[in-house]
Amino acid sequence: MNALELRNVKFSYGENAFAIENLNFAVKEGEFVAVLGHNGSGKSTLARLANGLLEADGGEIFVLGMPLEQKNLYEVRKNVGVVFQNPDNQAVASLVEDDVAFGAENVGLPREEIGARIDFALKAVGMEKERHATISRLSGGQKQRVAIAGVLALKPKIMILDESTAMLDPRGRREIIDVVLRLNKEEHITVILITHFMEEALLCGRAVVMNRGEIVMEGAPAEIFERHEELLTYNLALPRIGQICKGLREGGIAVEDTLDIEKLAEEIARCVS
Ligand SMILES: Nc1ncnc2c1ncn2[C@@H]1O[C@H](COP(=O)(O)OP(=O)(O)O)[C@@H](O)[C@H]1O
Ligand SMILES: [Mg+2]
């Protein structure tokens, strides 16, 4: 079954241009998908549409096979957890356990159940020792793990991380990626990772590229990153090796695009021999 499916979805913030234009996107249950795209391509709008924070102007959205309609909004919100970019804007309480409990309390779970869910969620993100800590004293990576725990306490089937590692240092980024990789593998949570870090996308099973509110590229992350010319047309930064390939071609050495250093060396040898 598809965890999430958007069919011909359109959305405009009210001005003339559509932020999402005829978007078709399906994610299977258990998948780990990267969503790439330059600023303004519609990635965050996609995340907000998927959990019912915004309502589409056209098309259909299905969450776990359920049409996203007003009467299903509660089920949708419970099943599609979104973690945003800035760890400092997400906390609603000052203590870790209160923050993690917040969403679960809001959906009216019984007290014992909430306690069990805090245990589960903090353990899942490796923060059980910080249960009684003050959030403002945590590192960025720890704060984002608390934000993830808050989403996890609702036991969602789908998690969307909207550039949730963008403001973190490399270590914090790695902490978050490790957590979501594990949640995908062990808890079978479907993960949609919106990111502009190539290394993160390479860890995903599949990647899509958005441009002007549509999906314009799709495939295995490594395949996508090898399509250097196409990436450039969508204003995406090339991987370092892509910049080298491009430079070589501009210098008259007609190498094929590749992500593999050894293959590039062979290409250069072929071209200059
Ligand atoms: N709250 C908003 N009000 C009006 N326009 C918005 C708002 N949020 C985003 N947009 C516009 O919608 C388009 C898509 O934005 P967004 O989904 O945030 O892209 P991304 O997350 O890929 O950077 C952009 O043109 C952006 O300017
Ligand atoms: Mg965004």
What domains are there in the chain, each with its CATH number? 1-83+156-221 (3.40.50.300), 88-155 (no CATH)
Q: 42 C-alpha to center of ligand 1: Å? A: 6
* Percentage of residues of the chain with pLDDT beyond 70: 100
Q: 254 C-alpha to center of ligand 2: Å? A: 36
pLDDT value, residue 136: 93
Q: 146 C-alpha to center of ligand 1: Å? A: 26
Sheet harboring 206-211: ordered strands across? 80-83, 158-162, 190-194, 32-36, 206-211, 214-219
Residue 162 CA: nearest ligand 1 atom is 21
pLDDT value, residue 38: 94
pLDDT value, residue 226: 86
- Given a cut of 50, the residues of the chain with pLDDT beneath it are none
Q: 195 C-alpha to center of ligand 2: Å? A: 9
pLDDT value, residue 89: 80
Q: At what angle do helices 170-186 and 111-124 cross, to 10 degrees?
A: 120
CA distances from residue 263 to 35, 248, 270, 272 in whole angstroms, order as listed? 27, 14, 10, 14
60-92 pLDDT, tens digit each: 999 999 999 999 998 999 899 999 888 788 788
Print burial letters for 174-213: b (CB count within 10 Å at least 16), e (below 16): ebbbebbeebbeeeebbbbbbbbbbebbbbbebbbbbbbb
163: left (phi over 0), alpha (psi -120 to 50) or beta: left
pLDDT value, residue 217: 97
CA-nearest of 2, 7, 9, 27 to 213 is 9
Cite the DSSP H helix spans in the chain: 43-50, 73-79, 87-90, 96-106, 111-124, 140-152, 170-186, 198-201, 221-226, 228-233, 240-250, 261-272
Nearest CA to ligand 1 atom 18: 44
Q: 271 C-alpha to center of ligand 2: Å? A: 41
The sign of the torsion formed by the CA atoms of 120, 156, 190, 21 equals negative
Nearest CA to ligand 1 atom 7: 13
Nearest CA to ligand 1 atom 6: 13
Pocket of ligand 1 (CB under 6 A): 13, 19, 37, 39-45
State which of 10, 18, 21, 44 you would mutate to test the pocket of ligand 1, scoring each by most atoms of that ligand within 8 A of its C-beta.
44
Contact between 192 and 159 (Cβ < 8 Å) = yes
State which of 13, 25, 53 you would mutate to test the pocket of ligand 1, scoring each by most atoms of that ligand within 8 A of its C-beta.
13
Alpha carbons 156 and 78: distance in angstroms, whole number: 6
114: left (phi over 0), alpha (psi -120 to 50) or beta: alpha
Q: Which ligand is nearest to the CA of 163?
A: 2
pTM: 0.90
pLDDT value, residue 87: 77
Alpha carbons 218 and 208: distance in angstroms, whole number: 4
CA-nearest of 84, 79, 98 to 136 is 98
Whole-number mean pLDDT of the chain? 92
Q: At what angle do helices 96-106 and 140-152 cross, to 10 degrees?
A: 30
Q: 41 C-alpha to center of ligand 1: Å? A: 8
215-228 pLDDT, tens digit each: 999 999 989 988 98
